[in-house]
Amino acid sequence: MRTDYVTATWCYLLSGFLDALDGHAARYLNQGTKFGAMLDQLTDRCATMCLLVTLSHFYPDYMFWFQLSMSLDIASHWLHLHCSSIQGRTSHKFIDTSGNPVLRIYYTSRPVLFFMCAGNELFYSMLYLLYFIDGPPVFGMIGAFELIAYLTAPVALVKSGISLIHLIVASRNMGIIDVAERETAAAEKSG
């Protein structure tokens, strides 16, 4: 990733496209599995984390923000997935539609989910490319990669906000599960 930025970028963006395609194919062919859902989320987190580690090296002044983004992304998705598993859901994308309205829109609207995930990955990919090259000029004023980074930066910020909401909601849900289990155990012990 440090030297052959063209190949690295194409591989990264292609993997994101194939990730969306394989999920669609699994649903269309009714081949979705719990293992596949876990593996999908795990590979997504690992790929983004690797890119953010590289960006931390390229832009050390912003290392804290990249580390925060990584930590928030991994912690929120892990806790959300774990809570979904404990609740017996077949997928982390099946949520209680009476719950948080942001997560409801995020998970029930495929276009919104795709836009947020693609925009987030595109933002980080553009930061990666900008380390090497500005990209072709747009209107003679700004490089294409810089323009795309500016346009997708708000998406990345909103996606981080959604991850924070994920973390809060999943933490509350785990607390509810813990309290219910303790109440059941106490009732069984006293009864």
Tell how strand 137-138 and strand 142-143 pair up.
antiparallel
Helices (H), 29-132: 34-58, 63-86, 101-108, 110-132
Q: The tokens 């294409």 sit on which residue?
A: 144
Q: How many residues does the chain have?
A: 191
Q: Catalytic residue at 178?
A: no
Q: Which of 19, 22, 40, 44 is catalytic?
A: 44
d(CA 69, CA 48): 10
Separation CA 92–CA 94 (nearest Å): 5
- Annotated catalytic residues are 44
